[in-house]
Amino acid sequence: MTTFLYELSTTGAVSFTDILKDPNGSYTRRISDATQARSRLRGILKENKRADGEQDYLTIIKVIDGYLPQLQGIIDCVAHGELQLKSEPVVFSWRTTLSASLFNNSPRISLPSLHAEYACCLLNYAFAYSNLARTIVSSLGSYEHDRAISEAERETKDTRLTHAVRHLGRASEIFTYLSETVLPELHQVAGSNKLPPDLSIEVNAALAKLSLADAQTVAIRKLLSKSFYDSNVTPGPPLPKSHPLPGVVAKLHLECASLYSSARTLAKTPSASKSSDDVPAELRHYLAAEASLHAALAKKWLGIDAGEKGGEKRAGDAVAFLAWSKKEFQELRDGGKGPGLAKGEKEKRDRNLRKEKVAAELGSVEVWLKHYKNVNDTVHFQAIPAQADLQSRIPSGMSALATTVSIYIPYKPVFGPLSDARITNGQPLHDANPASSPDDTSQSGASARESSAYAGAGEYY
């Protein structure tokens, strides 16, 4: 499976020279640099919108890397009175991409304040990281099921999955920062004005959970890569020696199901923080389908765990869990909680991939169910517990991302009162040299950021 595909936004042109007053003439070059950085961002987003093939999300990330420290500097200068806005409010134009409006036409709306500009940049930053991970995963194909692939090639592709997990983790960090820090302040500035779902606190919290779930899904795939490769010739029982404990795999899938389900609940929150519209059906269907898929997978592995470890005492549990899993996969195959709408070629491809995944897992479950049912019918003769009895035996989920996801650390401003070079012996340095944009996007510019929360939080305009 691939991860969720986001449509990146586009934005109207902005000249900071037109909206800012520089009373002391200290920031003329900085204002020009910030305008150029934003123009590059606008250009690369428009180019992405027009692209027919795979988009260059890595370049988009690097361009945003270059713009955020500039924007951060402007925000600080305005907050401390060293730059002034020529009019109130300053309006930035961004096209919404999480709107369920008619025909999903992504309307462009005007948003007040530098704070809204900051939020929209971070939102597209997270979208780009998630889509970059999707591009990596899509490029690999089903390599772990390729009988001809060498061990070295498989390990190389495993490493690329690790990169995808890290990018999804970064996206989750940014969505969390938006929902917990940036957007609450933006909603205070916006007052009674309606904001799109893109800038909803609940929706961004949902996207943070979605990204975590997508990251966990990719991590599970990497965890199982070698065992799938080892069982290509004889899929089904017994498990190869390289296979991780099935009980652990079950808990990992349970965590995915919980995250997708929680994300769907948040995305459907009616208040949606003054949102003027609902999130698109594609997103809601994706969350529902993935939650159902992982719930069925968890029951499959709980059944295998019972059969492999429980012996005679849990033979009935093995049959019951696998029968339950089979039932849920059949419902998914027949459309009970299917993937829903598909509006484009990529979305249709994802829907077909999910159908193939469901069909393959259903076939696998049937093989294991037949095996354990035969063993129980001929050797153990254990009663098959009811589904209600099994429910109480389902454990809690387990995260595989403890070392992957951390807290998003905002960029340091490259100029202004809170920049590193501003104070030397107590004297202000208005025009310190800007830091170059980092090349290592896996660190997301950490070298140019604060070691703690952004010091100017709460002072956006």
Identify the pLDDT of residue 280: 82
Identify the pLDDT of residue 129: 98
**pLDDT-above-70 percentage for the chain:** 84
Q: How confident is the model at residue 102 (pLDDT cuts 50, 70, 90)?
A: very low
Q: How confident is the model at residue 89 (pLDDT cuts 50, 70, 90)?
A: confident
Is this model's pTM higher than 0.95 or not? no
Q: Which two tokens stand for residue 456?
A: 């100017």
Identify the pLDDT of residue 275: 46
In a domain, 330, yes or no: no
Is the link from the previous residue into 89 a cis peptide, with omega within 30 of 0? yes
Identify the pLDDT of residue 88: 75
In a domain, 443, yes or no: yes
Q: What is the mean pLDDT of residues 226-237?
A: 85
Residues 149 and 232 sit within 8 Å (Cβ to Cβ): no
In a domain, 183, yes or no: yes
Burial class (CB in 10 A: 0-12, 13-18, 19+), 370: middle
In a domain, 457, yes or no: no
Using the predicted structure, report yes or no on whether residue 456 has a pLDDT greater than 70.
Answer: no
In a domain, 315, yes or no: no
Average the pLDDT over each of 40-49, 50-59, 166-175, 288-297 and give the range with the smallest value: 50-59
Using the predicted structure, report yes or no on whether residue 23 has a pLDDT greater than 70.
Answer: yes
Q: Into how many domains does the chain fold?
A: 1
Residue 92: Cβ within 10 Å count:
23
Interval 376-386: pLDDT, tens = 999 999 999 99
In a domain, 320, yes or no: no
Residues 6+ away with beta carbon under 8 Å from 363: none
Q: How confident is the model at residue 458 (pLDDT cuts 50, 70, 90)?
A: very low
With vertex at residue 182, the alpha carbon angle to CA 179 and CA 188, rounded to the nearest 5 degrees, is 100
Identify the pLDDT of residue 188: 87
Domain encompassing residue 225:
16-242+406-448
Residues 296 and 227 sit within 8 Å (Cβ to Cβ): no
Q: How far apart are CA 272 and CA 206, in angstroms?
A: 11
Indicate the pairing of strand 20-21 with strand 427-428.
Answer: unpaired
Using the predicted structure, report yes or no on whether residue 337 has a pLDDT greater than 60.
Answer: no
Interval 117-167: pLDDT, tens = 999 999 999 999 999 999 999 999 999 989 899 999 999 999 999 999 999
Report the range out of 227-241, 253-267, 300-314 with the highest average pLDDT: 253-267
Using the predicted structure, report yes or no on whether residue 341 has a pLDDT greater than 50.
Answer: no
Identify the pLDDT of residue 75: 95
Which residue stretches of 178-234 are H helix?
183-190, 201-230
Average the pLDDT over each of 23-27, 175-179, 310-314 and give the range with the smallest value: 310-314
**Of 399, 406, 396, residue with least CA distance to 446:** 406
In a domain, 179, yes or no: yes
**pLDDT-above-90 percentage for the chain:** 67
Q: What is the mean pLDDT of residues 334-340?
A: 55
Identify the pLDDT of residue 402: 77
**Positions of E strands within 19-82:** 20-21
Q: How confident is the model at residue 1 (pLDDT cuts 50, 70, 90)?
A: low
- Whole-number average pLDDT of the chain: 85
Name the residue with higher pLDDT: 331 or 235. 331
Identify the pLDDT of residue 255: 97
Identify the pLDDT of residue 53: 74
Q: Which two tokens stand for residue 326?
A: 């089979």
Residues 434 and 33 sit within 8 Å (Cβ to Cβ): yes
In 34-66, which positions are buried (b, 16+ CB within 10 angstroms) versus exposed (e)? bbebbebbbebbeebeeeeeebbbeebbbbbbb
Which residue stretches of 141-182 are H helix?
151-177
In a domain, 331, yes or no: no
Name the residue with higher pLDDT: 402 or 387. 387
Residue 112 backbone phi and psi in degrees, to 5: -80, 145
Interval 271-318: pLDDT, tens = 544 444 577 888 999 999 999 999 999 999 999 999 998 777 899 999
Interval 401-441: pLDDT, tens = 877 778 999 999 999 999 986 644 344 443 433 333 333 44
